[in-house]
Amino acid sequence: MTGKDTQNDGKMTGAEIVLRALKDNGVEHIFGYPGGAVLPIYDEIFQQEDIQHILVRHEQGAGHAAEGYARATGKPGVMLVTSGPGATNAVTPLQDALMDSIPLVCLSGQVPTTLIGSDAFQECDTVGITRPCTKHNWLVKDVNDLAATIHEAFRIATTGRPGPVVVDIPKDVQFATGTYTPPSATQPKGNYKPKMQGDLDRIRAAVELMANARRPIIYSGGGVVNSGPEASQLLRELVELTGFPITSTLMGLGSYPASGKNWLGMLGMHGTYEANMAMHDCDVMVCIGARFDDRITGRLNAFSPNSKKIHIDIDPSSVNKTVRVDVPIIGDVGRVLEDMVRLWRATANKADKSHLKDWWDDITRWRARNSLAYRPNDDVIMPQYAIQRLYEKTKHLDTYITTEVGQHQMWAAQFYGFEKPNRWMTSGGLGTMGYGLPAALGAQIAHPESLVIDIAGDASVQMTMQEMSSAVQYNAPIKIFILNNQYMGMVRQWQQLLHGNRLSNSYTEAMPDFVLMAQAFGAHGIRCEKPGDLDDAIQEMIDVKKPVLFDCRVANLANCFPMIPSGKAHNEMLLPDEATDEAVANAIDAKGRQLV
């Protein structure tokens, strides 16, 4: 810090308070973009060295970078934007973080308090606009409330079910002089106290159900990742102790290792046959830190019809929201799993897993269906093959994977094996195209020595392509691995499923030359068109110590299977070998067509 505070009876300007509060909350990096209403804070950033500011090219990029940073570290991500357009550009990442429960602190500048409400230049009602897309937000009108509000913002963003918060700071408050209070001296305001410890009687009831289960399954989600590395460790322990099969949502990948013997793969709309069939036929379902999203359940009235359901979640509003459960346990996943593992050890017959044998036989049969199969091709790179090769070439390295949204995202989830939590960053709930490139930047800033790869689609990547410039500026050697099929693949797949193969606006007729584009940014460009060249090209991508745009030309018309068509149940999957043109065209009926 500048040390001005000591000369001035602990008084500081609002801008100084912001920087001090960030530092006292353990912040090392912030992602942002300057503008008129945050200039005092930027001036303060200029005069200190504790916090590094990463300049992005668009505020949306700052938000997704901060999300990637948060997801890759377990720490909150911080973004700083100016008033008006700066704040409105932050809305997409805020909603993204809300839906995926990512701790994200957004500081925004605001016009001076005296001008609020006058339609001043670059004014917008930031707290009004961001109210529904944050966990909580504040407009700070008094500089003496600023420190306490920022501390409170970090507390709310990171505790309970994590989420985004906005602190809107008018320019005159940034200039005004006030008193700084450190986090330790700040009393938490209000009534916000998330329940961490699960009810022991409920956990006991859950353990009893599990001990008597004949066809059990564990369905885990992003809550396990959010709860911290201990929760993932406890999840692995629980699986080992119980011998139960485990599947996971998109957000939960890595909590249980993909190489683990009880792993069924991801479940849901593009999940594996074995995971979905096991969910449908189970007698006890243990949902851990997941929320029965519509991509997971398929048709609700046919969702796992004969099971008793146990649901562990820190957010009471997630319980019984769409699926009624028998044993709800409100609490932090890590704490609940600790109790659950302890009770299981104490009470259950741990040695005998023989009563699960018939169940595992069923699962083995479903696995043999090989639902991720695709037809290999010697001339054209199949997108699934590209991910398989990427995985083989990078699995022994210290790798972080981000994605955009679409077919490539699902293929990445299906074919890239995650062994650890916090290694996989993707936009699950909101499905934000353009998430992956800036998220990779954020992850790379957090882990400068690691290999950070954005598995991208040619359409998504163009939405936030400008952040390549930021990556070059900060020597962040992110690898953008584009599965280029010239289409918005998932849009096209749905047009084939729903709209008689009329491919309205899903083909990109003017595709940029990604190799030239990489050069224009000062990055490294690679193009690969033949399966035989793929391994060498991937190796080149890994070896280059620069940001890379990898234009991987894949089969244009490949579709993503297996799939639960909308309106269908888990046991009504469309499998790759059954997905003829006719089956695809007739897979969804009139009612299902209305769904997203």
- Is 122 catalytic? The answer is yes
Binding residue for other proteins (CB under 8 A) from 43, 199, 315, 533?
315
- The angle subtended at Cα 199 by Cα 193 and Cα 201, nearest 5°, is 165
Strands 77-81 and 263-266: unpaired
Region from 54-62, 127-135, 437-445, 548-556 binding other proteins, contact rule CB under 8 A:
127-135
Give the separation between CA 54 and CA 440, rounded to whole angstroms: 13
Binding residue for other proteins (CB under 8 A) from 357, 375, 530, 591?
591
Question: Which of 12, 16, 31, 59 is labelled catalytic?
Answer: 59
Give the separation between CA 86 and CA 98, rounded to whole angstroms: 19
- Contact flag: residue 565 with other proteins (CB under 8 A): yes
- Cα 299 to Cα 248, 286, 327, 569: the distances in Å are 18, 19, 22, 5
Residues in CB range of 306: below 8 A, 6 or more apart? 281, 282, 283
Q: Which is nearer to other proteins, 131 or 530 (CB)?
A: 131
Region from 44-52, 124-132, 237-245, 424-432 binding other proteins, contact rule CB under 8 A:
124-132
- Contact flag: residue 387 with other proteins (CB under 8 A): no
DSSP symbols for 214-274: SSEEEEE-HHHHHH-HHHHHHHHHHHHHH---EEE-GGGTTSS-TTSTTEEEE-STT--HH
Q: Which is nearer to other proteins, 171 or 299 (CB)?
A: 299
- Phi and psi angles of residue 470, each rounded to the nearest 5 degrees, phi first: -65, -40
- How many residues form the binding site for other proteins (CB under 8 A)? 49
CA nearest neighbour of 242 among 231, 234, 250: 234
| Local structure of residue 563 (DSSP, 8 states) | B
Interface positions, 151-170, toward other proteins (CB under 8 A)? 156
Decide if 236 contacts 257 (C-beta within 8 A).
yes
Give the separation between CA 204 and CA 27, rounded to whole angstroms: 40
CA nearest neighbour of 241 among 140, 352, 132, 334: 352
Residues in CB range of 314: below 8 A, 6 or more apart? 160, 161, 194, 195, 196, 223, 227, 289, 330, 331, 332, 333
- The angle subtended at Cα 94 by Cα 93 and Cα 99, nearest 5°, is 95
CA nearest neighbour of 221 among 346, 304, 94, 313: 313
Binding residue for other proteins (CB under 8 A) from 187, 191, 306, 354?
191
Decide if 147 contacts 181 (C-beta within 8 A).
yes
Question: Which of 410, 490, 541, 573 is labelled catalytic?
Answer: 490
CB 299 → other proteins: shortest distance, Å? 5
- Contact flag: residue 571 with other proteins (CB under 8 A): yes
Residue 108, beta-bridge partner list: 81, 168
- Contact flag: residue 258 with other proteins (CB under 8 A): no
Q: Which is nearer to other proteins, 210 or 574 (CB)?
A: 574
Region from 88-96, 316-324, 334-342, 418-426 binding other proteins, contact rule CB under 8 A:
316-324
- Is 511 catalytic? The answer is no
Question: Which of 121, 230, 357, 578 is labelled catalytic?
Answer: 121
Decide if 147 contacts 138 (C-beta within 8 A).
no
**Cα 257 to the center of its chain, rounded Å:** 18
- Contact flag: residue 128 with other proteins (CB under 8 A): yes
Q: Which is nearer to other proteins, 380 or 575 (CB)?
A: 575
Region from 52-60, 393-401, 511-519, 584-592 binding other proteins, contact rule CB under 8 A:
584-592
Binding residue for other proteins (CB under 8 A) from 575, 576, 581, 585?
575
Binding residue for other proteins (CB under 8 A) from 376, 522, 578, 580?
578
Residue 282 Ramachandran class (φ > 0 left, ψ -120 to 50 alpha, else beta):
beta
Q: Which is nearer to other proteins, 153 or 488 (CB)?
A: 153
What 3-state class would DSSP assign to 584? helix
CB 179 → other proteins: shortest distance, Å? 21
Binding residue for other proteins (CB under 8 A) from 136, 311, 423, 527?
136
Asked if the bond preceding 562 is cis, omega within 30° of 0, the reply is yes
- Contact flag: residue 76 with other proteins (CB under 8 A): no
Q: Which is nearer to other proteins, 145 or 237 (CB)?
A: 145
Site string for other proteins, 334-373 (x = CB under 8 A): -----------------------------------x----
Site string for other proteins, 519-558 (x = CB under 8 A): ----------------------------------------
Q: Which residue shows structure tokens 């990442």? A: 93
Q: Which is nearer to other proteins, 152 or 404 (CB)?
A: 152
- Contact flag: residue 142 with other proteins (CB under 8 A): no
- Is 488 catalytic? The answer is no
- Is 197 catalytic? The answer is no
- Is 47 catalytic? The answer is no
Site string for other proteins, 192-231 (x = CB under 8 A): x---------------------------------------
Binding residue for other proteins (CB under 8 A) from 10, 316, 376, 448?
316
Burial of 580 (0-12, 13-18, 19+ CB in 10 A): exposed
Site string for other proteins, 267-296 (x = CB under 8 A): ------x--------------------x--
| Local structure of residue 178 (DSSP, 8 states) | E
Q: Which is nearer to other proteins, 216 or 328 (CB)?
A: 328
Residue 401, beta-bridge partner list: 424, 453
- Contact flag: residue 301 with other proteins (CB under 8 A): yes
- Contact flag: residue 594 with other proteins (CB under 8 A): yes
Burial of 259 (0-12, 13-18, 19+ CB in 10 A): exposed
- Contact flag: residue 431 with other proteins (CB under 8 A): no
Q: Which is nearer to other proteins, 128 or 448 (CB)?
A: 128
- Which residues form the interface with other proteins (CB under 8 A)? 127-128, 131-132, 135-136, 139, 156, 189-192, 273, 294, 297-302, 315-317, 319-322, 324, 369, 565-569, 571-575, 578, 583, 586-587, 589-592, 594-595
Catalytic residues: 59, 121-122, 171, 490
